[in-house]
Amino acid sequence: MDQTGPKTRIFVCLPLDRVADELEKFIEPLRSFRDYRWVAKAQFHITLKFIGDAAAEHITRLDSNLSRVGGTRPFTFSLSSVGFFPNAERARTIWLGIGDDSGRLGKLAASVDRAAAAAGFETERRAFHPHVTLARARGERPTPPELLASLEKAPSLTETRDCFVLMKSVLTPAGAVYSPLARYLL
């Protein structure tokens, strides 16, 4: 996509403010594993579509398209089962999986992807794999067995969402800082 002018790093997500306290309680003792950068409570979310850097005119078009994605209704999904990218033995990313028995989360992600494509952004090539990132490794090393044992105690939580968000992401030396640009009711 040809974009001119200043760019803003953006993505579309479901923020997890209702279960954030429980997730924070779970990972607080894990912060002692300093080889990982643990996600801050305010940043828990499920990415529906990562877009990256975008010019203002494309963000305006995307906002207009996303405002027409709603029309469904709030839905509930579960958070459970810790997972790892690429694997548990050498976890670069630690995440909490999402259960979506109704399939509505996947349908919402597909609708967001179509709205983004209509605004001129690339269509997602990978299958949608909903998850909440808990931590990212600071380097390449084996995952400590003590950490793996602690992660087995992940809570099983449910969340009901009635909206999704177009989020701005500013990269800083301390990590990304997120701020909502727009909210869209389902």
132 within 8 A of 79, measured Cβ to Cβ:
yes
CA dist 58 and 50 (Å) reads 14
Q: Which domains does the chain have, with CATH numbers?
A: 7-185 (3.90.1140.10)
Helix 56-66 crosses helix 104-118 at what angle (to 10 degrees)? 140
Q: Which two tokens stand for residue 89?
A: 């033995």
Q: Read off the amino acid at residue 172.
A: T
CA dist 132 and 94 (Å) reads 9
What pLDDT band is residue 5 in, cutting at 50, 70 and 90? Answer: low
CA dist 105 and 99 (Å) reads 9
CA 94 from centre of chain: 13
135 within 8 A of 93, measured Cβ to Cβ:
yes
pTM of the model: 0.92
- Residue 134, H or E segment: strand 131-137
The three-class DSSP label of residue 117 is helix
Range list of H helices, the chain: 20-27, 56-66, 104-118, 145-151
What pLDDT band is residue 33 in, cutting at 50, 70 and 90? Answer: very high
pLDDT digits (tens, 9 = 90+) for 82-139: 999 999 999 999 999 999 888 899 999 999 999 999 999 999 999 999 999 999 999 9
CA dist 84 and 131 (Å) reads 10
Angle of CA points 129, 133, 136, to nearest 5°:
120
pLDDT digits (tens, 9 = 90+) for 144-170: 999 999 999 999 999 999 999 999 999
